[in-house]
Amino acid sequence: MNLIMEDNAQVSYENGGVRMFNLLSSELYKWRKSKAFYICLLSALVCIVIIWMTFWLEDQVERGKIESGTMGFTVLEPTAEDKEATGILDVLNIMQMIHTFAGGGFSTLFIAIFVCIWVVGEYTNGAVKNTVGKGISRSKVFAAKFISSVAASLALNMGILMATVLTGVAVVGTARIGETFWQNCLAYAGVQLMLGMAYASVIAMFGEFARNMAAGIGIGILLAALSTTLADGADLLFRIANIDFRVSDYWIVSVIERCPYEGIDMNFAGRALGVTVLWMAVSLIAGMAHFCEADV
């Protein structure tokens, strides 16, 4: 009897593993076919190129290589005391631009929009209802969508970072890249990619709660634009109450924005890892609990 029960448990476990693999394969297929992902990625890349080219054009006007007034850029003529005309690219640091795109709300905005479309769209088109109706465990259904959301956001964020670096190198030139650039770049990108996955998991959770496209995207935009201000306000209240606790040290968007783009130390990296694990765990548990209890 015990042997039979063990065999049945093993078969059930194997079937569960096969179903989870099939769900993830289905998510990967839908991801490859997703127009929303490619539109968000292409929109982000176009914005990055336009911004970099705007700086390049301003630099050329300031150096006198392009006529003043072109595209609205006007500069004063250099005086006799000036040895050489300078441009904005002389002071613009590529790492500063990487920080602007990755930590200034640009990446989080595109991640929020795509993940909301990715998660909420499954409810509006009936895909979730059809999947659950086949007798597949709700926990596995949510876990598959959760994992695919995190993976897609990782790819989107990686594309934004790579485009920022490559376009920046092409515009500024390799001569101005210092010895520590690639070290700082890789360290900063690694931390931001990790934090971006946690942010995507939070958006996936709220998307499951809302199940409405407008509400989901609205919440995502609010989190990207205003949540750090609210965290700072909470810090102020704790400080007034003489409580040694900072909400911004543990809120994912605040950590994303305040990640140093040069010289990341182990203390910050460890806190970023802890914040990532915390919010991914909270998002997974809370989202799965709600999905298992709520109507599809």
Share the mean pLDDT of the chain. Answer: 84
Distance CA 19, CA 274 (A): 31
| pLDDT for residue 28 is more than 70 | yes
Contact in structure between 231 and 254 (CB atoms under 8 Å): yes
| 68's tokens | 């003043």
Q: Say which residue the tokens 């002389």 belong to.
A: 90
Mind listing the pLDDT tens digit for each residue in 96-155?
A: 999 999 988 899 999 999 999 998 888 877 777 777 777 788 888 889 999 999 999 999
Average pLDDT of the residues in 17-25: 81
Mind listing the pLDDT tens digit for each residue in 69-101?
A: 555 555 555 554 555 667 778 788 889 999 999
Contact in structure between 96 and 104 (CB atoms under 8 Å): no
Helices 106-124 + 138-172 axis angle, to 10: 150
pLDDT of residue 50: 94
What are the start-end ranges of the H helices in 211-265? 213-240, 252-257
pLDDT of residue 104: 86
